[in-house]
Amino acid sequence: MAMVEWFEFQIPSKIICAEHCVDSIGMEMEKVDGSKVLLVTDKGVEKAGLAQAVIDGMESGNVEVVGVFNEVPPNSEVKIVQKCFEAASSNGADSLVSVGGGSVIDTAKAAVILMIEGGDLLDHQSAVYVPSGAVPPHIAVPTTAGTGSESTFAAVIADHEQKMKLIFQSPELAPTVAMLDPTVTTTLPPHLTASTGIDALTHCIEALHSEMHEPICDGIALHGIKLIASSLPRAFKDGSDIEARTLMLLSANMGGVAFSNAFVGIIHAMAHSVGGKFGIPHGVANAILLPYGMEFNLRYVEEGIPAKYKMVAESLGLDVRNDDDETAARKAIEHIRKLNLELGLPQRLSEVGLPEDGLEAVTEDAMIDGCMFNNPGEPEFDEVLELYKKAF
């Protein structure tokens, strides 16, 4: 596989991983000069006592929690980001702590834009956001192991008026510190453990087949796949398995680091589209589309995709030593289908509320999603529509 001729690699976030590391979050916030913190979360996380655990951890430093914004829904939207920013301003916050899944962390990342620029979030949409002032400290505590949002450069925010998902992107939006504490993920129910875990797997695989892939990300993604293969079924079966939860947090973070630098492709483009138009949860959409997207990409032999997927098969723990690239790749795809079944995830888009007469509309959105441009080749409208039909 030809390597991209020129690349940059960065991990702007400091990453801390340990059981009960949130107990020292106040000390970490003090180190990055935050003193008046707005805690951003959702009601489910708050009810599970996870927000309180983080508030208690603030006592380890000379910082004050000036407010709690708990109104983030599963797929955050532009209006919620505006409200989050208003909560930060009215409480005089100079920093943010986000405790939750990707939606919560992305809300805080987008609120950071407004803390710097003010005004309307939609005014700050561009291919790459360049801050016009100092970036406020933001510590992210993920309560799911999937998006890797605690270290990624992007915030995905729904625009309900346009029925689209907007992507705000900049290395400056990566949280200042990511605290990976398995104890805050043990209450995550099995179905969310499954769908968010497959999102992490999709990040690793898409970073590998992306046009922008490069050796550093390849290594991170392949090891991420290995950790997911060993720990996702364990975390699904026993949520209190701290070792499995830790490995899932790490692999999700590695997937996030890999795809922030190498980007993702057709699977995410198609998942964003069905999420934006019909509210299909991101991880579920990825779980359904991942095997189909991989099968589609097998045609890019010159780009080395079957060889890449042979490496995926090896990381999944399959014995493919004597197989040619395509045979090994197909074994990896079948293994992922079986993993989805084992995790109780749906297999078809028709099972999760996508209407058949919506297929053309989601194809239109997928074709203009930024992720599509990083996929190998240049998938045509009819090919993508056909792929949606197969997954339907």
Which residue has its beta carbon closest to Fe ion?
Answer: 199
Q: Which is nearer to Fe ion, 139 or 252 (CB)?
A: 252
Least distance (Å) from Fe ion to the CB of residue 281? 11
Segment interacting with Fe ion (CB under 5 A) among 38-46, 117-125, 193-201, 236-244: 193-201
Q: Which is nearer to Fe ion, 77 or 199 (CB)?
A: 199
Segment interacting with Fe ion (CB under 5 A) among 71-79, 111-119, 131-139, 192-200: 192-200
Segment interacting with Fe ion (CB under 5 A) among 66-74, 154-162, 195-203, 374-382: 195-203
DSSP 26: H
Q: Which is nearer to Fe ion, 199 or 325 (CB)?
A: 199
When binding is defined by CB under 5 A, the residue of 77, 199, 303, 325 that contacts Fe ion is 199
Least distance (Å) from Fe ion to the CB of residue 147? 6
Q: Which is nearer to Fe ion, 144 or 185 (CB)?
A: 144
Segment interacting with Fe ion (CB under 5 A) among 17-25, 174-182, 196-204, 235-243: 196-204
Instruction: Report 300-339 residues binding Fe ion (CB under 5 A).
Output: none
Q: Is 206 in the site for Fe ion (CB under 5 A)?
A: no
Residues binding Fe ion (CB under 5 A): 199
